[in-house]
Amino acid sequence: MMGTPVLILGDSGAGKSYSLRNFNPDDVMLLQCIPKMLPFKSAGWKLHGKQLDDGSKQRGNVLRSDNWEMVLDTIYRMVQSKTRRVLIIDDFQVVMQHENMNRAYQTGYAKFTEMADHIWRIIMAATELPDDFRVYFLAHTEETEGKIRMKTTGKMLNEKLTPEGYFSIVLRAIKKDGKHVFLIKGDDNDTAKAPPDLFPDQTEMDNDLHAVDVAITEFMTEL
């Protein structure tokens, strides 16, 4: 039993959230670590727990939390869904950034080990889901020693954890010639990677995460 975690990296405005536009919201759970509007017409995407005029609470597929324990719990609870096999965690780096700010006045190095452990536990939880579950981690990038990688909270945490190492699929959202695309394979300074047969003979593609998801599910059935 192994779910599929996928890392989508990109600067703010690179089209990460826009890439969700072609998903059927009935098939997807979206966890927003930062509350924000979706950058596309969003009929069917509804905030779970929103207070309605009649006093009831809305049932929906959009959750909001930046707490690492809530993120972890959301992943584990995916197995209870009858229809949704895709979880998207948007602005994943915020989980560690906000924990770091909340613990800013704690001294010592132990907190960096603990924060790295929390992120590691979240990623590992995605791999522990049943085979047909996919978890997409959308995160910002930073350049460290000339290499473009997932944004963390600095050198201390980077020494404890290399998030990209836990993913076999890492795509980078970029803007090229006025279009938003996913970079599938980069140079030695880029962490973008995918199994060679997943996107054969492609180095980039349209930033359509649903198309990526279809390719992954078709690839998985061939294993």
Q: CB of 162 within 8 A of CB of 187?
A: no
User: The sheet that has 204-206: what strands, in order across it?
Assistant: 62-64, 28-32, 86-90, 134-139, 4-9, 170-176, 179-183, 204-206
Domain residue spans of the chain: 4-37+51-221
- The confidence score (pLDDT) of residue 164 equals 83
- CATH annotation of 4-37+51-221: 3.40.50.300
- The confidence score (pLDDT) of residue 157 equals 66
Question: CB-based contacts of 88: which residues, under 8 Å, 6+ apart?
Answer: 20, 28, 29, 30, 31, 135, 136, 138, 209
Task: Give CA separation, 92 vs 21, 30, 163, 170, 214, in Å.
Answer: 19, 12, 11, 14, 22
Query: Rounded distance, CA 160 to CA 141, Å?
Result: 18
- The confidence score (pLDDT) of residue 205 equals 92
- The confidence score (pLDDT) of residue 223 equals 44
Record the pTM: 0.92
- The confidence score (pLDDT) of residue 156 equals 61
Across the 223 residues of the chain, what is the mean pLDDT of every consecutive 10-residue run?
A: 89 90 95 92 88 90 95 94 93 89 85 88 94 94 79 70 85 90 81 88 92 92 50
- The confidence score (pLDDT) of residue 190 equals 76
Q: CB of 75 within 8 A of CB of 20?
A: no
**Which two three-digit tokens encode residue 102?**
């909340």
Q: What are the phi and psi torsion angles at 36 (to 5°)?
A: -160, 160
**Which two three-digit tokens encode residue 220?**
């998985």
Query: Rounded distance, CA 183 to CA 172, Å?
Result: 5
Query: Rounded distance, CA 44 to CA 134, Å?
Result: 20
- The confidence score (pLDDT) of residue 222 equals 47
